[in-house]
A and B are shown apart, each in its own frame.
Chain A
């Protein structure tokens, strides 16, 4: 067959291709090693070198052109196919949310408090929940006969069958760690404490405290104020204003109560701060020399500050929880909100 004749046949056949399968058929008939075009090459034998060269070039150009057209058409068919198969997604339907569990709000807040203190260089330690009377009272400068001991031991402390007590404050661990560590001591001791209470919306029989202790040669009330203020700023993520007012604890002297200007009303007075404008946030003071001595250190050299922070109350403030008893309710309707 003449090349020109074949060329026009091929061109017409190509134009007639209407589907992907027809295109495949076309390709296998005309293109490829055993295709019609190849056959013409084998018929070139009886032509002169000049003619061979010329016809060969024409053939190659034509082959390239057809192959390119075939590829293009093939892509077109594929595209059309994808368009037909396309699924339209209803983006309005709700997402499939994986059901995760929850961490108790007191754990969340406790961790947050711990990490703020850790960033300030305070190591986190834990003391035992069952304490002997010496650590719970005597070591904290609350000897037998002391009014605070009577108030605590007769009214507020749980005694166990073996004569030990459930710790009534995390401060009980202070002297334990003073004995084990060398100053400078910079620690916090968070944990569960126990008080004999009638429960109501703001009182519990066991709750959580975070004790802070810093013992070094140069420790001042100014440092105590600095650390407490910095902690509260980080925790409440606000530029909080604090004030110190006199207080009394047997294990600190001087002793203070720290109030924070109410973050809800900015000190004007609202229901959160009981119209006072200030919220009592923690008790603290300079470690009493007798406690330093009970910790095996020389109170003439070593000074320190200590503070006791409730974990429950700031948690209630943070999440606007109105009843402390919810923490120990085991109620998933409550717990699943955190």
Chain B
């Protein structure tokens, strides 16, 4: 709301503080001032009136009331002074029929013998200061009163209204109207109109039409001061995409009682600047009169919420300055009557806010809450996420953030079935992402322009359809390319980094198994990560088809893990294993087994044997595998066994018997044939 400082000053007998000082006071107690502009004879403030106060403060009167509340300066109401005709009566000139309850009040007056001309200088200056272009004295008077009091007004050319009758009704389907600007608008039946028997004169509360426009030839006028349901006005304004100074005010809770003050005031101004005779009487259709409400507030609650104690005397002053009426006040509570222009005041918390801001929030001393000390509970989801990020950082990976949205291109290239957004901000953001990888590929491509090596990852929510429901889950994906490594080495680097993360996060029983075909992966060149029997995700070489589409080199590797599952296998538990002081015995065993027997299987069997003797710790590691010279389907394996006793050096009999047990178990379970 643009406020003229000199206009504001005209509400007071004594001058207001200087513009900067006033702006600061308003910022602290009412509304933030965004700027002060110096005009020739004036300053204008730009106040950010809060939405709940738009009903009474999109006006100089409203802001003047705020000044009174803050400063207590003596306040002068706008002048009301006009003569009604002794010859002409309204019933002979105009009838109004309100057919819809979305019109809460409709006031109308007629003036005859108007002299249309430019407004006097004082009036033009005030409009210009507030950013409104002067048009003619009658239209300017309505705008002036709107800026002064906050009530939008409308004037029609009386002679252009058919049958001396105004009808307030909803539009007929596809009824249209030519606006003052010349544009044509098509209405629908939810929209409220001001019409005569022939057609629509104006869209209620939003904009007037060409038909009854005021021109330089106008002599008789109808003045409208009305009130409409806010929701209706906001919906209509959005549908036809027209927002006016009038509609902005009507969209909020404007006091229907304001219509009367505004009508009297505009007649006063028009009488001054455009002469004319005011037809006796005023049409006022106002079926449900809005009355002041009373709010009861317990003083204990007021003090408890604000955290200070305000004395009864101070409260009396604040209530008076707010133009509220103290109906009752005792040691326990007060009852306050709220004037109807404050439609935002409904509950006691509203009253607490009013008292607090006028009293001054700066007078409330900060105080930390006193309560039982309950320690904050650790959030495991975040703990593991941050820990993972630290580990990734240590081994050279950089965290990226990407938008939650993807477009048609990603959907097509990656063959996704993503959840769509009804109102996307652009075609590139039509869907919410089901995977983090496509954007990581884009990031990689961009970064390769400046970097030889790229190692990036993201941990974020992804959104997938599961049986008609949309499920969000945490994903952890990354992309890697190291400039001077071949594909084999890069894969090993990625695998090593993942192992490093798992080892440092207490994950045991890690298995990598080759996947034949995957969504993102190059055939044969990717593996599935399984920890403790739980499938966590996949990693490997990105499919060459995809890297081709993305304009990336073949060697880009990626990983794609479900972080929710990964977190399930993360563990903080650790147990100290005694440090062996006696030398270990190292033995290699070699044998022939079926090719399909995995390393894991063999190691598991050896670990089973180890469990038989608590004191002997056996470590097994596959050293070598070869198939040359063996029959189809067989392989030769060399396993290094490291045996160690917790308390002493093992003797050769013990070592031999252990090795024998292991070999026996291997041959029993997987048909191991020992080679000499």
* Chain A nearest CB, measured from B221 CB (Å): 32
- Of A145, A154, A246, A335, the residue contacting B231 (CB under 8 A) is A145
Q: Which parts of B199-224 form the interface with A (CB within 8 Å)?
A: none
The distance in angstroms between the C-alpha atoms of A73 and B28, with both chains bound, is 89
Once the chains bind, are A121 and B231 in contact (CB under 8 Å)? no
The distance in angstroms between the C-alpha atoms of A332 and B454, with both chains bound, is 8
A122 at the A/B interface (Cβ < 8 Å)? yes
Once the chains bind, are A192 and B404 in contact (CB under 8 Å)? yes
Q: Which parts of B417-473 form the interface with A (CB within 8 Å)?
A: 419-425, 429, 432, 439-440, 442-443, 446-447, 450-451, 454-456, 460-461, 463, 468-470, 472
Chain B residue nearest in CB terms to A204: B403
* Chain B nearest CB, measured from A334 CB (Å): 10
A296 at the A/B interface (Cβ < 8 Å)? no
Interface size class of A (residues with CB under 8 A): 35 or more
Once the chains bind, are B393 and A328 in contact (CB under 8 Å)? no
Tell me which residues across on chain A come within 8 A of B404, comparing CB atoms: 129, 166, 192, 194, 206
The distance in angstroms between the C-alpha atoms of A162 and B465, with both chains bound, is 10
Once the chains bind, are A114 and B450 in contact (CB under 8 Å)? no
Given A147-B251, A147-B252, A330-B443, CB of A243 within 8 Å of CB of B369? no
Tell me which residues across on chain A come within 8 A of B272, comparing CB atoms: none
Chain A residue nearest in CB terms to B237: A150
Given A222-B307, A246-B50, A254-B357, CB of A130 within 8 Å of CB of B470? yes
Once the chains bind, are A223 and B369 in contact (CB under 8 Å)? yes
- Of A151, A197, A226, the residue contacting B425 (CB under 8 A) is A197
B234 at the A/B interface (Cβ < 8 Å)? yes
Once the chains bind, are B405 and A246 in contact (CB under 8 Å)? no
Once the chains bind, are A248 and B50 in contact (CB under 8 Å)? yes
Contact indicator per residue, chain A 116-127, by CB within 8 Å of chain B (1) or not (0): 011101111110
A74 at the A/B interface (Cβ < 8 Å)? no
Of A12-20, A39-47, A213-221, the stretch lying at the interface with chain B is A213-221
A137 at the A/B interface (Cβ < 8 Å)? no
Once the chains bind, are A101 and B399 in contact (CB under 8 Å)? yes
The distance in angstroms between the C-alpha atoms of A328 and B460, with both chains bound, is 13
Number of A-B contacts (CB under 8 A): 227
The distance in angstroms between the C-alpha atoms of A33 and B108, with both chains bound, is 136
Contact indicator per residue, chain A 140-177, by CB within 8 Å of chain B (1) or not (0): 00000101101100100011111010100000000000
The distance in angstroms between the C-alpha atoms of A147 and B376, with both chains bound, is 37
Once the chains bind, are B361 and A256 in contact (CB under 8 Å)? yes
Once the chains bind, are A107 and B353 in contact (CB under 8 Å)? no
Tell me which residues across on chain B come within 8 A of A162, comparing CB atoms: 419, 468-470
Chain B residue nearest in CB terms to A223: B369
Once the chains bind, are B379 and A126 in contact (CB under 8 Å)? yes
Tell me which residues across on chain A come within 8 A of B440, comparing CB atoms: 330
A-B pairs with beta carbons under 8 Å apart, 15 shown = A117-B376, A129-B472, A160-B420, A162-B419, A166-B421, A205-B405, A205-B429, A222-B367, A243-B361, A245-B361, A253-B353, A256-B361, A328-B403, A332-B451, A335-B399
- Identify the 7 closest CB pairs spanning chains A and B, nearest first: A222-B307, A220-B307, A254-B353, A330-B443, A248-B50, A225-B366, A226-B366
- B-side residues, CB < 8 A to A, are 27-32, 50-53, 230-231, 234-235, 238, 251-252, 304-308, 347, 349-350, 352-353, 356-357, 361-362, 364-369, 371-377, 379, 381-382, 386, 389-390, 392-405, 419-425, 429, 432, 439-440, 442-443, 446-447, 450-451, 454-456, 460-461, 463, 468-470, 472
- A-side residues, CB < 8 A to B, are 99-104, 106-107, 111, 114, 117-119, 121-126, 128-130, 145, 147-148, 150-151, 154, 158-162, 164, 166, 184, 186, 192, 194, 196-198, 205-206, 214, 216, 218-223, 225-227, 229-230, 243-248, 253-257, 286, 288-289, 303, 327-328, 330-333, 335-336
